[in-house]
Amino acid sequence: MLTPYIVMIVGVLLAAGAAFWTLRAVRRAGANAGTGRFVLLVCACASVVALGVYLVNGRPELAGGAYAERIAALKLRPRETYTMDEWLAVLHDEARADPADAWPLLASGEVLLRGNRPEEAARAFDSALRRDPRSVDALLGIARSIAMKEGHFTPEALAFLEQASTVSDDPAPWLYRAMAAMEAGDDAAARQMWGQAYARMSSDDPRREMARRFSTGQQP
């Protein structure tokens, strides 16, 4: 409970110190007493205004102050009404509340990709991967982020796709590798990747027929 007040007091002391050093610099520069008093008054007013803003909006008696209140109010709203920034704020709060859970970071990465912010998305997916080193979704997310940023699947993106294909039987990494091979004009590799994806798909997977056709060199 005392921590916010300590922060506030330290802020006031720093502001007072800044005013003192500013006034001393003015005096050393040869300004008259009237100028010095004016500078001191400006510094004092700035400190009072800053303190007032903190007390009104920061609410030092609350953990997180006004931000916590805004997040709590936001979580009461239907999630389908969120803007992109509101989604990111809620997911950030959830990630902070449970440092072991990779899902909020994976979701943040998807939101950022949809908002055409691939560099930030890559950072979110990388954070998710640090929480869950075997997360296929995180590995795919990093690869997709790189591809969006660069306009194609780079060797770095392909390395993440290859890693994803070794940690799970999910067909998704193979699908992305197949698309990367097609993009590169390597038809033989593409057919092989489509075949690997097809072999991992369930019988009711809607992508199954497309993968079968591509694996045999047919058009879907």
Distances in whole angstroms, Cα of residue 198 to Cα of each of 136, 195, 201, 202, 204: 18, 5, 5, 9, 12
Q: How far apart are CA 107 and CA 60, in angstroms?
A: 31
Supply the DSSP string of 123-183, one letter for each residue: HHHHHHHHH-TT-HHHHHHHHHHHHHHHSS--HHHHHHHHHHHHH---SHHHHHHHHHHHH
* Tokens 């009711």 belong to residue: 204
Q: What is the pLDDT of residues 96-151, one digit of tens each?
A: 999 999 999 999 999 999 999 999 999 999 999 999 999 999 999 999 999 999 99
pLDDT at 10: 42
Q: What is the pLDDT of residues 186-215, one digit of tens each?
A: 999 999 999 999 999 999 999 999 999 999
pLDDT at 53: 43
Q: How far apart are CA 24 and CA 22, in angstroms?
A: 5
Q: pLDDT band for position 13 (50/70/90)?
A: very low
**Domain ranges, ordered by start, for the chain:** 2-65, 169-220
Total length of the chain: 220
pLDDT at 37: 52
Q: pLDDT band for position 30 (50/70/90)?
A: low
